[in-house]
Amino acid sequence: MPSTTDPRTKDDLSQAGESASSADTAHGGARDHVPAGWVQRDTENGARHLDATPDDGGVDHTPVRLIDPDGTRHEVPELDRWLDDVDDAAMLGLYTDMVAARRIDTEATALQRQGQLGLWPPMLGQEAAQIGSSRALREDDFVFSSYREQGVAYVRGIAPTDLLRVWRGAAPSGWDPYEYRMAPMQVIIGAQTLHAVGYAVGLLLETATAGSGAHGGIGVSRPDSDGPDAPERTSATISYFGDGATSQGDVHEAMTFASTWSAPTVFFCQNNQWAISEPVDLQSKVPLVERARGYGMPGVRVDGNDVLAVLAVTREALHRARAGLGPTFIEAVTYRMGPHTTADDPTRYRDRSDLEEWSGRDPIARLAAHLRDRGVLDDDAEAAAQQTADEVAATMRAGVYAVADPDWSTVFDHVYAEPHAVLDAERDAYGRYLAGFADNDTQEAAR
């Protein structure tokens, strides 16, 4: 049901990690606080292009940031206004979440190497993007994700074992999507963005904002202001996808539909620089965030390794969505430190120096440095977070060992929602075929 509570105090942050962070506005002033030298190699061409068109307002695509890699914290009013409630405990919570997410990820990689999983897509390095954004969500928001969002799933409360059922090949999906308000992972690149838009349109249709005129968009109503105090009318949806997905037609169509209908949705793009072996500059000649302008929606480029900045920009985007201001495109600039999946070999296509460079921007080390500076994190607290993460991983491992192979007949389950005589007959026939082995089995056992 639509929520109209204060976005600054009622989101998921209050439940787990208990921290807050800063965010960026669509065209905020945070760029001043980004250290010189942050240049995405994939965006150099685009940056030059933009420099050559000063009439567009001299758009600066430096990702907005609140915490530098060395832990230095900047005050950015446009972002900090979304973080009033983020106290030390909340910050420590975000830290613990990230440590746990990384621990889940490394444990799952180990489980794959040990033959317990068929495949695993590591998210190492993307913890801030996933924890910061998902902690901005409220319980009634709905997530449509790709296949690498284990950090998001963890924050949504999904048991890590359930996350692994699919990768073990033991189930088509692992949890009740309506219970956790998160759809099962989507493997077709970008397809889920449209589902998030459709769900969001459904939210609009349930409200009085619908039916604005035969030629108008579905959600054309506008609130009085776009600040944190603007009244919220619906919940929101968020879609997660990567830099490679931005080339997909479905993502373009999703942004078109969402924009013209003012759908309450957020496009959260984790630009981790690589689509398997293809660098992001093969997907776009301009910074990905530039796409937003063409669809008529705000775009935000955020340092995806700064959990506080990600939290803030996502909170604002979600608030805009809930308030009827339409969709927002967020480009979280991060880096996939691991392979695309456990079947991938990134040494064939990228330089070790890249990895070293990005190691210096590690999202967990960054927040840890900041929290140590503030005296919030000490050795004991760090050990406590690690212990929490270890327990999560141990529970997950034990859970995976306990996952039984499904019965053969489940192959035929849920293909249709209503009775289907032909499929029933196929199932029965295959059952009779299998039953034909029963006598042999009995004889074998008797010998």
Which residues are catalytically annotated? 336, 340, 349
Residue 216 interacting with other proteins (CB under 8 A): yes
Which residue in the block uniquely carries the two structure tokens 């907005």? 64
Alpha helices in 122-214 (DSSP H): 127-134, 150-155, 160-168, 177-180, 191-205
Least CB distance from residue 194 to other proteins, whole Å? Answer: 2
Q: What minimum distance in Å lies between the beta carbon of 74 and other proteins?
A: 38
Least separation in angstroms between CB 119 and other proteins? 17
Of 155, 18, 22, whose CA–CA distance to 89 is shortest? Answer: 18
Interface stretch with other proteins, choices 21-29, 133-141, 313-321, 419-427 (CB under 8 A): 419-427
Among the candidate windows 35-43, 62-70, 252-260, 271-279, which touches other proteins by CB under 8 A?
A: 252-260
Question: What is the rounded CA–CA span in Å between residue 333 and residue 314?
Answer: 14
Taking each helix axis as running N to C, give the angle between helix 160-168 and helix 88-113, from 0 to 180 degrees, rounded to the nearest 10. 30
Binding flag, residue 405, other proteins (CB under 8 A): no
CA separation for the pair 260, 137 (Å, rounded): 24
Q: How far is CA 322 from the centre of its chain?
A: 18
**Residue 214 contacts other proteins per CB under 8 A:** yes
CB 3 within 8 A of CB 322: yes
Binding string to other proteins for residues 260 to 299, with x set by CB under 8 A, is what? x---------------------------------------
CB 25 within 8 A of CB 76: no
Residue among 235 and 272 whose Cβ is closer to other proteins: 235
Q: Which CB sits closer to other proteins, 37 or 213?
A: 213
Candidates 26-34, 94-102, 340-348, 407-415 — which segment interacts with other proteins by CB under 8 A? Answer: 407-415
For residue 62 the two structure tokens come to: 């430096």
By CB under 8 A, is residue 413 in contact with other proteins? yes
CA-to-CA distance for 13 and 255, rounded, in angstroms?
A: 27
- In the complex, the smallest distance separating the C-beta of residue 176 from other proteins, rounded to whole angstroms, is 6
Q: Which of 216, 255, 226 is nearest to 324 (CA)?
A: 226
Residue nearer to other proteins on the CB measure, 102 or 148: 148
DSSP symbol at 184: P
Q: Are 185 and 166 in contact (CB under 8 A)?
A: yes
Element (H, E) at 91: helix 88-113
Task: Collapse the DSSP code of 97 into the 3-class scheme (helix H, G, I; strand E, B; otherwise coil) and give the result.
Answer: helix
Q: Which stretch binds other proteins (CB under 8 A): 86-94, 214-222, 340-348, 397-405?
A: 214-222
Token couple for 99:
């440590």
Residue 412 makes CB contacts below 8 A (sequence gap 6+) with 423, 426, 427, 430
Q: Among 218, 238, 266, 308, which residue sits at the site for other proteins (rule: CB under 8 A)?
A: 218
Q: What is the DSSP letter of 285?
A: S
169 CA to centre of own chain: 23
Report 153-212 residues binding other proteins (CB under 8 A).
171-173, 176-178, 183-184, 188, 191, 193-203, 205-206, 210-212
DSSP, collapsed to helix, strand or coil, labels residue 275 as: strand
Tell the smallest beta-carbon distance from residue 171 to other proteins (Å).
7
Closest separation between CB of residue 433 and other proteins, Å? 16
CB of 182 vs other proteins, minimal distance in Å: 11
The least CB distance from residue 117 to other proteins, in Å, is: 19
Contact call for residues 318 and 79 (beta carbons, < 8 A): no
By beta-carbon proximity to other proteins, the closer residue of 110 and 220 is 220
Binding to other proteins by residue 417, rule CB under 8 A?
Answer: yes
**Complex with other proteins: residue 174 or 304, whichever CB lies closer:** 174
Task: Compute how many residues bind other proteins; rule: CB under 8 A.
Answer: 51
| Per-residue DSSP letter, 182 | B
Nearer to other proteins, 89 or 188 (CB): 188
Q: Is 213 in the site for other proteins (CB under 8 A)?
A: yes
Which residues contact other proteins (rule: CB under 8 A)? 142, 144, 171-173, 176-178, 183-184, 188, 191, 193-203, 205-206, 210-216, 218, 237, 249-250, 253-254, 256-257, 260, 413-418, 420-423
